[in-house]
């Protein structure tokens, strides 16, 4: 791949990155509310202090982000090893 192809891939990657950041900023409040209502959240409290540990929400977020990153990275993989 030449210099122009590499530059094009870089520009596409930057556009995807900016789009993901903008979408994350727009939908963050809805995502936080949705993850707060999943079962599997441990709540430990004493007096006026409470700590919530979202175990299931962390697993779900990890799976979703793994799929998204793999789908975004698919066009950028080196296919010369085939």
Res 79: pLDDT: 66
Q: Once rounded to an integer, what is the mean pLDDT over residues 10-35? A: 82
Mean of the pLDDT values across residues 6-13?
A: 82
Query: What is the C-alpha to C-alpha distance for residues 72 and 25, in angstroms, rounded to an integer?
Result: 19
Statement: residue 60 has pLDDT above 80: yes
Assess whether pLDDT exceeds 80 at residue 32. no
Is residue 37 in some structural domain? yes
Q: Does residue 81 form part of some domain?
A: no
Average confidence score pLDDT of the chain: 81
Residue 63 has pLDDT above 90, yes or no: yes
Instruction: Give the list of residues 6+ apart from residue 36 with CB closer than 8 angstroms, or none.
Output: 52, 54, 57
Domain holding 57, by residue range, is: 3-76
Q: How many domains does the chain have?
A: 1
Let me know: does 47 contact 36? Beta carbons within 8 Å: no
> Is 62 a domain residue?
yes
């Amino acid at each position: 791949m030449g210099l122009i192809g590499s530059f094009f891939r870089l520009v596409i990657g930057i556009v995807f990155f900016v789009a993901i950041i903008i979408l994350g900023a727009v939908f963050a409040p809805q995502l936080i509310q949705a993850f707060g209502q999943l079962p599997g959240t441990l709540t430990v409290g004493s007096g006026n202090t409470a700590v919530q540990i979202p175990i299931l929400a962390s697993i779900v977020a990890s799976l979703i982000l793994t799929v998204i990153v793999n789908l975004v990275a698919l066009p950028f993989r080196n296919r010369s090893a085939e």
